[in-house]
Amino acid sequence: MSHTSDQPAQATPSVILELICYDREHYERADGVALEELLKKINPDRINWVNVDGLFDTDITEKLQAHFNLHALLIDDVLNDQRPKTEEYDDCLYFTLKMLYSINGENIEYEQISFVLGSHYLISFQEKEGDLFDFFRERIRLDQGRVRKKKVDYLLYRLIDIIVDNYYNVLDAIGNQIEEIEENLSENQSEHTFQRIQKLKKELIFLRKAVYPLRDALSKLVKDKSDFIEEENLRYFDDVYDHVVHLLDSLDTYKDLTSSLMDIHINTQNNQLNKVIKVLTIISTIFIPLTFIVGVYGMNFRHFPELEWTYGYPLIWAIMLVLAIGMLVYFRFKKWF
């Protein structure tokens, strides 16, 4: 996930506007222009994709709201963090989800993206500059695929499909990290390994929170048969729904694998601790009878018969060595070490 950092305050970045207007015969793109000029270029007889990068300027969102007659609750959802969902209004359809970019270390880079689908337009609201759609913009320009032959609802499907497809790339990166940790787990039991597993668990929880509501939003979109989605295009959204269900299955698998890694990590550490305790216990056990013998002869009684015997001292040493060696042989025989 994106994390904030303690850096000096910077100037508020500007909002970037883009319009792609097309049909089967025509294509026009306008970007980096003022909102008033962009709105004049919208052609109700063509498909109009208005992309807004940055939600910093409320004046722009208010003008878009007024121009397209958008509901105030819709704009409120656009400007605030929302779980993936779909809402149908009188004049438009609202759909929002999380757009994942990549996983940097154990942190997933993402942003919220909101779509507003009307009869002849699609508005995409993004939190920051840059997205996953550059190659798709080029396909529209070159008239590749079906998009120039379809209505605006097909454009919405293609953008959602691109976002969902990139979920697989992020999930594959997490899978590679799980495999890497699993391969090194037996050799590396450091605190860093434990922290990596913990971070992966948190990222998987975040993904589940992003994907589960997305499944419900797509299901609602398909089952309710919105007036803004042509019936012939419902199968495309249903296909994205199937992809999301598959993602959820993969997430559940990775969740189980991560939990297994945590169990392996804890069990391995416990085994290492048990080995240390076993060695210390064996050493302590060996020294118990030796300490007893030394304690006996350390008592301050005046009459010890052995004290006057020439071989008393070496005999005590021999007894202690035999005891120690005998106990080691016995422990080895029992396979205690």
Residue 3 pLDDT grade (very low, low, confident, very high; cuts 50, 70, 90)? very low
Q: Cβ(163)–Cβ(131) under 8 Å?
A: no
pLDDT in tens, 189-219: 667 777 788 888 888 888 888 899 999 999 9
Residue 274 vs residues 4, 43, 284: alpha-carbon distances, Å? 42, 75, 15
Site of tokens 């060996």? 286
Cβ–Cβ < 8 Å for 96, 113: yes
Query: Could you tell me if 215 and 241 are in contact, meaning their C-beta atoms sit under 8 angstroms apart?
Result: yes
**Class level of CATH domain 16-268:** alpha beta
Which CATH number is associated with domain 276-333? 1.20.58.340
Q: Where is pLDDT greater, at 290 or 75?
A: 75
pLDDT band of residue 150 (cuts 50, 70, 90) is very high
Q: pLDDT value at position 199? A: 84
What is the token pair recorded at 308?
């006057």
pTM over 0.85: no
What is the 3-class SS of 178-227, one letter each residue? HHHHHHHCCCCCCHHHHHHHHHHHHHHHHHHHHHHHHHHHHHHHHHCCCC
What integer pLDDT is reported at residue 7 of this predicted model? 40
| pLDDT: which is higher, 167 or 319 | 167
Q: Is there a contact between 155 and 122 (Cβ–Cβ < 8 Å)?
A: yes
- Return the pLDDT at 105: 60
Find the mean pLDDT for residues 304-312.
72
Return the pLDDT at 8.
Answer: 40
- What pLDDT sits at residue 189? 64
What would the mean pLDDT of 145-163 be, rounded to a whole number?
93
Gap between the Cα atoms of 327 and 322, Å rounded: 8
Distance of alpha carbon 253 from alpha carbon 255, whole angstroms: 5
Domain ranges for the chain, please list them: 16-268, 276-333
Lowest mean pLDDT among 61-70, 237-246, 273-282: 273-282
For 42-72, write each residue's pLDDT tens digit.
999 999 999 999 887 888 999 999 999 999 9
Same fold, 16-268 and 276-333: no
Mean pLDDT across 118-129: 92
- E-assigned strands of the chain? 16-22, 27-31, 47-53, 85-88, 93-104, 107-117, 121-126
**CA 5 to the chain's CA centroid:** 19
Who's near 56: CB < 8 A, 6+ residues apart? Answer: 12, 13, 14, 15
What whole-number percentage of the chain has pLDDT above 90? Answer: 41
